[in-house]
Amino acid sequence: MCGIVGYIGPREATPIILEGLRRLEYRGYDSAGLAVLQNDQIAVRRDVGKLENLARQVAAAPLNGHVGVGHTRWATHGKPSPTNAHPHVSHNGRTVVVHNGIVENFHELRAELQAAGVRFRSETDTETIVHLIQRELDDGHPLTEAVRRAVRRLRGAHAIVVLNADAPDRLIAVRVGNAGGVALGVGAGEMFIASDVPAILEHTRRMVFLESRQLATVTRDGWTLQTLEGEPIEGQVHTIPWDPVSAARGEYKHFMAKEIHEQPRALTDTLRGRLDFRSGKVWLPDLPLSQEQARALQRIVTVACGTSAYSGLVGRFLIERLARVPVEVDYGSEYRYRDPILDARCAVLAITQSGETVDTLAAMEEARRKGARLWSIVNAIGSQAMRLADGVITMQAGPEIGVASTKAFTASIVDQYLLALYLAQKRGTLSAEAARQHARDLARLPDLVGQALEGEAQIEALAAKLYHYEHFLYLGRGINYPIALEGALKLKEVSYIHAEGYPAGEMKHGPIALIDEGMPVLAIALQDALYEKMLSQIEQVRSRGGRVIALATAGDEAIREKADHVLYVPPTPPLLSPMVSVIPLQLLAYHVALRRGCDVDQPRNLAKSVTVE
Ligand code: AGP
């Protein structure tokens, strides 16, 4: 997955950058590159595969200079190749860019630049950025202004570092949205830039973290910050404690907070290299399936536990809707005791973050015994669930340390979305235009999740009003019913509050008896096909004296009259909505738990990987 390292100072930049990239290796990547300012010229080296390949190339043709940038890439637009690797270079070789994120409007920008005579050398979306910046420079704008003007043209979430040979005393770093962090490392007469703290921690513990829509001008003597509109701003230097656990937490107090905020990046990484954003084509190389086998598939059975099982319930919607294969979802702990009916025309899909959950593994073994095809969606590379399966899709969420699962939930839904598209394409149940539209929607997902994260301050304030309640009811319908289950699970796990998730339409068949002023009801009432129906459930709660927290679509002002509190998420295509609507519920559970003084990362009685039955 993509990583960025930059250096400016008196030392040789190359070894510092290579070592920084090496410290990001655990996250995985398919190619790498670096650029160093050498005698007034920018020299670039790029290679595919292991960092060793790049290091060998650099050893054979050394790069000497005191300012440079490096990057590890995980392909999204264009296959892994030296020309698609970063840094990307402007037409005159005077500017280079490294980038994490997806330029959502890159087709338009590329067409615009090509029409103006720019020749593209790579297939990447990133190359548009360097050409946009160079065009602004050619028009006479100073570097900072040129970067600001160019970045304002980009849609999506980005972390970008720019080196320009005509401004050799500086690097420019920008963060927009949540395509990964940008940390500035403050040294003595030298500065570092990194997407991840561990990359530069051996050099300094003093870090400045860029917020969204901030731009940093970094010289060897320090840094200045401004907004993308050019307003100067103050940045705060954080001192990172020198122990590996705190270092890994970076700017966050808890892993749960870090992992919630990592989701835009985790989702970008999960999409990378699997989905062609232009054609909508999906590649799942580790889940081989011929067209005949896909067409012969009669049923999928998803087996999982806890959060992973709720992810499976969302996946059921996606797979049935797109690939028209019936899906049933069962708990790993129940499945093998059902004497399930399975044969070679069925696929059993195990979803597991840890890949070691004993109940899920037992369900997989049952499926193996009965001759079904066996697939898994797994986060922990090399785990048992990965080894047992005939076909695997990895989550690319990175290590999840907090016991309460957050980023693995959304990443595993993205994997199921990709599986649904993959099956649909092989079974012929989706038109080419529909596939392209799904790809366009998925390209927007990291940014939509980033927008949902921006509501955190409001959620924190709401947590202060709610934390003393002892019971909660979460209601959802359709594709957001599993989000009610997951929201309730998150709250009970980390805050020890009793919470129930329920399909909203079922409330009147029993749980309505519980409604009173002591049991707040969180209703997921997005403006989708089931909106009106959710409103009537809210009315039923209110007319019984219940307190309602509505999770609504931004712009829905009318709902304020029906609810005591409203949390908003951005308008989202319906099939993506679970991955966006779960964000406020994760944040609410986290802030309520903090208020109650709970140990959010290691809640009592729970374990990250449940290896007993
Ligand atoms: C999630 O917050 C829980 N800690 C738990 O429900 C978890 O999802 C479940 O134990 C399954 O774990 P797995 O995904 O590693 O198999």
Catalytic residue among 2, 305, 346, 598: 2
What is the C-alpha to C-alpha distance for residues 41 and 166, in angstroms, rounded to an integer?
Answer: 9
What is the C-alpha to C-alpha distance for residues 293 and 390, in angstroms, rounded to an integer?
Answer: 14
Pairing of strands 67-73, 31-38: antiparallel
- If you average pLDDT over residues 555-577, what whole number do you get? 96
What is the C-alpha to C-alpha distance for residues 7 and 173, in angstroms, rounded to an integer?
Answer: 11
What is the C-alpha to C-alpha distance for residues 134 and 162, in angstroms, rounded to an integer?
Answer: 11
The dihedral formed by the CA atoms of 481, 485, 490 and 493, expressed in degrees to the nearest 10: 180
Closest CA to 209 of 222, 190, 193: 193
305 CA to middle of ligand 1, Å? Answer: 6
Which amino acid residue places its CA nearest to atom 7 of ligand 1? 306
Which burial class, exposed, middle or buried, applies to 171 when counting CB atoms under 10 A from its CB (0-12, 13-18, 19+)? buried
Closest CA to 122 of 76, 155, 61, 70: 76
CA 237 to each of CA 131, 454, 476: distance values in angstroms, whole numbers, following the listed order? 33, 22, 42
50 CA to middle of ligand 1, Å? Answer: 32
474 CA to middle of ligand 1, Å? Answer: 19
The atom number, within ligand 1, closest to the CA of 385 reads: 16
The atom number, within ligand 1, closest to the CA of 493 reads: 2
Which burial class, exposed, middle or buried, applies to 338 when counting CB atoms under 10 A from its CB (0-12, 13-18, 19+)? exposed
Closest CA to 105 of 156, 146, 147, 151: 156
pLDDT in tens, 368-426: 999 999 999 999 877 789 888 999 999 988 888 899 999 999 999 999 999 999 999 99
What is the C-alpha to C-alpha distance for residues 411 and 422, in angstroms, rounded to an integer?
Answer: 16
Would you tell me the crossing angle of helices 306-323 and 407-427 to the nearest 10 degrees? 20
User: Which of 400, 598, 610, 613 to mutate for ligand 1's pocket (most ligand atoms within 8 Å of CB)?
Assistant: 610
Provide residues with CB under 6 Å of ligand 1.
305-308, 352-354, 357, 360, 403-405, 493, 606, 609-610
Query: In the prediction, which pLDDT does 276 show?
Result: 92
Instruction: Name the residue with tokens 């695997």.
Output: 392
* pLDDT-derived band at 201, boundaries 50, 70, 90: confident
Q: Is 328 helix (H, G, I), strand (E, B) or coil?
A: strand
- If you average pLDDT over residues 215-242, what whole number do you get? 91
610 CA to middle of ligand 1, Å? Answer: 8
What is the C-alpha to C-alpha distance for residues 533 and 281, in angstroms, rounded to an integer?
Answer: 35
What ranges make up the beta strands (E) of 388-545? Answer: 391-394, 471-476, 498-503, 521-525
Which burial class, exposed, middle or buried, applies to 308 when counting CB atoms under 10 A from its CB (0-12, 13-18, 19+)? buried
* pLDDT-derived band at 245, boundaries 50, 70, 90: low
Which amino acid residue places its CA nearest to atom 9 of ligand 1? 306
Element housing 37 (H / E): strand 31-38
The dihedral formed by the CA atoms of 457, 462, 466 and 471, expressed in degrees to the nearest 10: -90
Query: In the prediction, which pLDDT does 312 show?
Result: 98
CA 355 to each of CA 358, 362, 380, 469, 499: distance values in angstroms, whole numbers, following the listed order? 9, 12, 6, 35, 27
Query: In the prediction, which pLDDT does 612 show?
Result: 62
403 CA to middle of ligand 1, Å? Answer: 8
- If you average pLDDT over residues 594-607, what whole number do you get? 89
Side-chain half-sphere exposure of 200, counting CA atoms within 13 A: 31
**What average pLDDT is seen over the chain?**
93
Closest CA to 245 of 254, 237, 236: 254
**CA-based angle 592:570:524, to the nearest 5?**
55
pLDDT in tens, 306-346: 999 999 999 999 999 999 999 999 999 999 888 899 999 99
Residue 608 bears catalytic tag:
yes
The token pair at 169 is: 């005393």
Which burial class, exposed, middle or buried, applies to 1 when counting CB atoms under 10 A from its CB (0-12, 13-18, 19+)? buried
Query: In the prediction, which pLDDT does 38 show?
Result: 95
- Weakest-pLDDT range from 209-213, 361-365, 489-493, 502-506: 209-213
Query: In the prediction, which pLDDT does 1 show?
Result: 55
pLDDT in tens, 71-110: 998 776 677 888 889 999 999 999 999 998 889 898 999 9
What is the C-alpha to C-alpha distance for residues 415 and 394, in angstroms, rounded to an integer?
Answer: 8
Instruction: Name the residue with tokens 């703290």.
Output: 197
309 CA to middle of ligand 1, Å? Answer: 8
Q: What is the DSSP letter of 585?
A: H
What is the C-alpha to C-alpha distance for residues 526 and 586, in angstroms, rounded to an integer?
Answer: 17
- If you average pLDDT over residues 472-479, what whole number do you get? 96
Query: In the prediction, which pLDDT does 26 show?
Result: 59
The residues, any chain, with a CB within 8 Å of residue 83's CB and separated by 6 or more, are 46, 121, 122
The dihedral formed by the CA atoms of 588, 594, 596 and 597, expressed in degrees to the nearest 10: 160
What is the C-alpha to C-alpha distance for residues 504 and 522, in angstroms, rounded to an integer?
Answer: 10
Percent of the chain with pLDDT over 70: 97
Residue 305 bears catalytic tag:
no
Q: How far is CA 380 from the centre of its chain?
A: 16
* pLDDT-derived band at 199, boundaries 50, 70, 90: confident
User: Which of 254, 333, 334, 353 to mutate for ligand 1's pocket (most ligand atoms within 8 Å of CB)?
Assistant: 353
pLDDT in tens, 21-69: 988 775 667 889 999 999 999 999 999 988 899 999 999 999 999 999 9
Instruction: Name the residue with tokens 């044969």.
Output: 343
What is the C-alpha to C-alpha distance for residues 273 and 295, in angstroms, rounded to an integer?
Answer: 25
The token pair at 20 is: 């920084």
The atom number, within ligand 1, closest to the CA of 405 reads: 2
